[in-house]
Each structure stands twice: as C-alpha cells, then as structure tokens.
Amino acid sequence: MSETDSNPMRDAIQSAIAENPVILFMKGNPDQPACGFSARTVAVLQSLDKPFAAVDILPDPRIRQELSALSGWPTIPQLFVDGELVGGCDIVMEMYQSGELHQVLGLENVPEEPDAAEPLEESSVAPSAPLSIENRL
C-alpha cells in the first residue's frame, strides 16, 4: 500500500474528474476516436451540444489502469458528470434514448437536430501534465 502515498497519475485523474463537470475518458480524441464505443459516446455528447472535457487514455497505459482502479469500471469509455461515473457506451446510449442523460447533464429539451458545428478552436495540450485534457468548455 506504500504506492498510494504518492501516485501522481491517480491524483491527476482525480483532479480532472473533480474539475470538469462533464469529462469523458476515451480512446483517441473527440475528433478522431480510436474505438467505436468511444466514437458513439462522443457522438451522443456532441449531438446534445453539451461541452465536455476529454482525456485520451491511449498515450499512457497507466491512465487506464488508475482510472479503472478509481472507478471500479473495467472498460473505456467512461463518462463522469459532477464527479460521478455515469457509465460507459452502453449506459450512455441507453440513458440518451430514455432521456435520462439529458437530466443528468442538466439539459431541458431533447434537441431535434444535432448541431454539426465544429468547435471554434482546438484547445492546446499542457505538456507538463500527466494527462492531456481536451477542454470543450
């Protein structure tokens, strides 16, 4: 248990979850998802026009290891809202279809048309941080 004393990766993941109201841990990034499950989850969030932060777990295997240790959830993607794990692709899809996702995200209405607008600006990546978080806030 000595490793729990200092675990920068775990700390970084915890602060990322705490600091971003909506954060998605995924394979790849929102513009280039590297897995169908991540792609579908991103598509749902984008169709809701809900800004979210995204972390690519692929660059460092420890991200996934520590994330799953923290969340108790074995697979990627993982969506957190207000610090709580909402679920992976299946749950996000199911909640989207039932309208629960809108509630969780604090959205009033189901938008009829997905907004296809591109984000105006690519956020830059902080090179010193152990996690690169793309912030779409």
Residues at the site binding other proteins, with contacts judged by CB under 8 A: 37, 72-75, 85-91, 94-95
Cβ-based nearer residue to other proteins, 30 or 88:
88
Give start and end residues of each alpha helix (H) in the chain.
8-19, 36-47, 61-71, 89-98, 100-104
Q: How far is the CB of 121 from other proteins (least distance, A)?
A: 33
Cβ-based nearer residue to other proteins, 66 or 134:
66
Q: How far is the CB of 81 from other proteins (least distance, A)?
A: 12
CB-CB contact of 22 with 50 (8 Å): yes
Q: How many angstroms separate the Cα of 26 from the Cα of each of 12, 29, 48, 89?
A: 16, 7, 18, 10
Q: How far is the CB of 61 from other proteins (least distance, A)?
A: 11
Cβ-based nearer residue to other proteins, 57 or 136:
57
Cβ-based nearer residue to other proteins, 68 or 123:
68
Backbone angles phi, psi at 42, to 5 degrees: -60, -45
Q: How far is the CB of 74 from other proteins (least distance, A)?
A: 5
Q: How far is the CB of 99 from other proteins (least distance, A)?
A: 14
Cβ-based nearer residue to other proteins, 94 or 122:
94
Strands 53-56 and 133-135: antiparallel
Q: Is 80 helix (H, G, I), strand (E, B) or coil?
A: strand
Q: In whole angstroms, give the CA distance from residue 109 to residue 98.
A: 12
